[in-house]
Structure 1
Amino acid sequence: MDHPLRATLAAELHARPFLKLAESVSLSHYAIYAEQNSSIHETLLHALCLDTGIPLPTEGVTHYSVQSPCGWHLKWECHTEFSTFTFVIPRHDSDYFNDIAIKGVPARWFEQLAGIRFVASRMELLTGASASAARNSLRQWIDGPILVGSNVLAGGQVFCDWSVRPDGFMRFLVIDDGFREEQGGRLLQRLYEIETYRMMALLSLPIARRMSRDLDEIHASLQSLMQSMDARDADCDDSQLLVKLTHLAVRVESLSGSGGRFSASRAYEKLVLARIQELREERIEGMPTIQEFMERRFAPAMETSRSVWARHEQIAARIARAVDLLRTRVNLAQEKDVTRMLAGMERTARNQLHLQHAVEGLSVAAISYYVLSLAAAAFRALHVLSIPFDPELAEGLAIGPVVIAVVAITRRTRGRLRRRDASGEGQFLRPSRQPI
């Protein structure tokens, strides 16, 4: 009875459960980003399973959670652009931020991460006496230039410095002062998601910086072209200006290929801010909270990306308007040229009509002359036959009727030709009703 997608979509709410932690744990988190190799994520997971003896996941899954024989718990998630490997193991000593969470993972597996390891974090969740001891010696474990910390979830504390240490890892120290069930696991997941999504959001920053330089050049060229368009005394070729504007439009359009990256960064930024809100931070005197730290360091970078993309859209719109204005001016100039050409054609046609009338008058005179010449010959022949009339008088009297007759015949012929031309043009313009 159910739709084929019902079970899959309903299970999506429970697809990535939080870790259930009830003791001190050590966590190592990796985010893998390989833009040109989307198959590397499953390849790494299968290689890890084969190297450590854990079962292979079902084909096509996007998340996988399993306990390994080495003692650590693996949580793997495949996202749209990246995948994450999270190793969690119970902690029973005070040698914090070491490799205990990844013991048993062969070095050859880590060698496959060369060039694609995007995030590497180590976290310690401490409870009881070990938590109090670590709180009293924070700088022993987190010695970055800025110590960031806050009370979170009304039951613990988080300390970090957001610095990548020489071993390539960031450090997060979490103190459990009375978390309820699963709060510790949710907190750790929110923390490494904040770092992962933050890094993914910042992928647009290098693009924005390169694009900003390109936009500076395009803006300067556009300003120069607009001044050329506005110069009234400049003898500029509008067609050349239109070609240059088209080239600028192509350059701007080529930058639009980064639009997907900027859109993704805005989505990741929203996730970062949402995860920070979920921490429900309270200030620890003398330390900036995670939210304050991000507002000072992360927010300006995101604002830079947004402003560059907004500037790109504004310049693209300006170029489009300039092209429309110049195209309108070119069309107006073409219409003026066509008007002048039509006026010249009209003058030529009028002159041809006058010439035609003159030719018609000369034709009437010539035809009349030839007809009268023939009539004169006929009259002389009749006079020779002794018919009693004066041939010269008869020829003179015939001039008028002959001229009138030639004029009438000429006009009738011209009228017939005009009616035939009009009838032919109407038939040409009239749509045919016969099937093709």
Structure 2
Amino acid sequence: MSDRPSRPKTANDHPLRQWAVDEMNLRRFAPVPEDCQIYQYVLLVDAAQRQPEDQYLINDRPDFAEWHLSPRSATAHTANGVHFLWERHTEASTITLILPANMPAKLADPYLYWLANWPGAILRATRVRVVPSQKEVDANLDAMGMAGVDMVCCDVNGVLRIWSDFGIHNDGFGRLLVLAGDVSDNERGRIIQRVQELGNYRNMALMGFPTVQEYGPQVDELEKQLSLHAEQVAIATDEDNDDALLQQLADISSRLELIRSATGFRLSATAAYSEVASDRLQALEITPVAGYQTLTEFTERRLVPATRTCATFQARLTRIAERISRVMHTLDVRIDTRIKAQNLSLTQSMERSTLLQLRLQTLVEGLSVIAAAYYLVGLIGYMVKGVSALQKGYWPEIIMGAVTVPVILIIWLFVHHLRGKVLQETESKKE
């Protein structure tokens, strides 16, 4: 966190301007003197532990002369040379304590106890000893319990020399010995920060490898089932099996998506952490020391295979999804072709039915002509009889002949009215 006084905000400032400046100054390390001890924890803190962590950070802290707090970072120091840094990451928190080498235990213990009880699961804990001269190196290597063929020793950035066995000792800490070199405290702090960030991001990146080991057998089984399913699709001739094959393929796809959902974040995080660790490794400009393995050799020996395995696993999931898509497309095409054939057969059947109805309608129309002629002759007969009855005075026949034409007219008007009403309703429905 920057100690600069905050600048008054102007009307023309972009809402993210101050955030961008704060972000660029977020990860500044404290000055590291040439004779000191550094304790650093990287803790995985889940969502449920964030609020207890905030409370612990604010309410349970020991005495500091100056204290600066922001939502994602905090810095503090005392008059006798104690420095504290806290930083919140996406899924972890990093806490660092810098103590003078000759600080009495009764003064250092409250700060160490505070760090030791921090909420979260420890992913990495490192105890760094910075010494001012070469003559103190051997004594401190023995005191820190570091020895053996696995010792890493190299020069970083051409000014500092480091030693570590990168193991976990009885007190739960890893060990790092640093020869201070002829640099300023601020420069020394920046270099040690890069060394520590390399180890921190390396451990975060390696967390994806157990995930691959856990889900690898399930993916093997999915691939086997998909291969068998593809063979069944290729040789299947019974149309009734297509629906069952499609359902089986949907089940395989669902299980794959569950695996991708469970591993996606961790594998993506592994790729990101690995890239940052690689950047930090390059920035350290490692120079070998004869008789020792370098930090580059130690890091790449395990990190590179692990991250490549994770990347291969993620690519494998993508390829399986593509294979499922291709097999499903094959099934869809086959089912669609069968449906089109069924539709064609149905259309042909409907065409035959329509032709039959047309023939029947033609026959009915022919018979209707005969019926219409019969009734028309009858109507004409009624009118002729009515005219003939006028001379004889037969009133029933006269009346029948007289009403024939009006009845025909009334029926025609009624049918015409109904036809117009039906056409009107049809047009209104179209609109």
- TM-score interval (norm. to shorter): 0.7 to 0.9
Equivalent position of 1:358 in the other structure: 363
Equivalent position of 1:14 in the other structure: 25
Distance in structure 2 (CA, Å) of the matches to 1:100 and 1:187: 30
- Aligned pair in 2 of structure 1 residues 55, 339: CA closer, same or farther (>3 Å)? farther
SS in 1 for 2:32: coil
- Aligned pair in 2 of structure 1 residues 280, 429: CA closer, same or farther (>3 Å)? farther
Aligned AA for 1:336?
A
Aligned AA for 1:261?
R
Residues 36-435 of structure 1 mapped to structure 2, 5 A cutoff: 36-37=47-48, 38-49=50-61, 52-54=62-64, 60-68=70-78, 72-92=82-102, 103-105=109-111, 107=113, 110-113=116-119, 116-128=121-133, 130-134=135-139, 141-143=145-147, 146-234=150-238, 236-257=240-261, 258-365=263-370, 432=431
CA contact (8 A) 2:53 2:118 kept: no
SS in 1 for 2:93: strand
Q: CA deviation at 1:122?
A: 0.7
Distance in structure 1 (CA, Å) of the matches to 2:373 and 2:19: 104
Distance in structure 2 (CA, Å) of the matches to 1:292 and 1:99: 37
Distance in structure 1 (CA, Å) of the matches to 2:278 and 2:54: 29
> Aligned to 1:33, which of 17, 22, 44?
44
Aligned AA for 1:359?
V
Distance in structure 1 (CA, Å) of the matches to 2:58 and 2:288: 43
Which piece of structure 1 moves more, 350-359 or 116-125?
A: 350-359
SS in 2 for 1:105: helix
Equivalent position of 1:394 in the other structure: none
Which piece of structure 1 moves more, 342-351 or 248-257?
A: 248-257
Aligned AA for 2:265?
G
SS in 1 for 2:252: helix
CA contact (8 A) 2:151 2:163 kept: yes
Distance in structure 1 (CA, Å) of the matches to 2:135 and 2:52: 39
What do residues 378-411 of structure 1 show as CA deviations (whole Å, max 9, x unaligned)?
99xxxxxxxxxxxxxxxxxxxxxxxxxxxxxxxx
What do residues 340-360 of structure 1 show as CA deviations (whole Å, max 9, x unaligned)?
011111111212222332333
RMSD: 3.7
Aligned AA for 2:124?
V
User: Structure 1 regions of 5+ residues with no counterpart?
Assistant: 380-412
CA contact (8 A) 2:32 2:186 kept: yes
Distance in structure 2 (CA, Å) of the matches to 1:323 and 1:102: 66
Q: CA deviation at 1:118?
A: 1.7
Q: CA deviation at 1:424?
A: 5.7
What do residues 193-232 of structure 1 show as CA deviations (whole Å, max 9, x unaligned)?
1121112112222222223222222212211221111115
Distance in structure 2 (CA, Å) of the matches to 1:88 and 1:101: 13
- Aligned pair in 2 of structure 1 residues 109, 173: CA closer, same or farther (>3 Å)? closer
Q: CA deviation at 1:59?
A: 6.0
Paired positions, count: 390
CA contact (8 A) 1:70 1:104 kept: no
CA contact (8 A) 2:134 2:179 kept: no
- Aligned pair in 2 of structure 1 residues 39, 203: CA closer, same or farther (>3 Å)? farther
- After TM superposition, the score normalised by the length of structure 2 is 0.78
Distance in structure 2 (CA, Å) of the matches to 1:290 and 1:100: 35
- Aligned pair in 2 of structure 1 residues 298, 20: CA closer, same or farther (>3 Å)? same
CA contact (8 A) 1:48 1:105 kept: no
Distance in structure 2 (CA, Å) of the matches to 1:363 and 1:252: 69
Which piece of structure 1 moves more, 1-10 or 316-325?
A: 1-10
User: Structure 2 regions of 5+ residues with no counterpart?
Assistant: 1-9, 385-411
CA contact (8 A) 2:68 2:76 kept: no
- Aligned pair in 2 of structure 1 residues 334, 300: CA closer, same or farther (>3 Å)? same
Distance in structure 2 (CA, Å) of the matches to 1:83 and 1:221: 42
Distance in structure 1 (CA, Å) of the matches to 2:430 and 2:151: 85
CA contact (8 A) 2:34 2:180 kept: no
CA contact (8 A) 2:159 2:183 kept: yes
What do residues 135-193 of structure 1 show as CA deviations (whole Å, max 9, x unaligned)?
8x569731366111111121221111221223211111111232345232122212221
- Aligned pair in 2 of structure 1 residues 336, 102: CA closer, same or farther (>3 Å)? farther
CA contact (8 A) 1:149 1:289 kept: yes
CA contact (8 A) 2:75 2:83 kept: yes
Aligned AA for 1:81?
E
Identity %: 26
Distance in structure 2 (CA, Å) of the matches to 1:31 and 1:102: 20
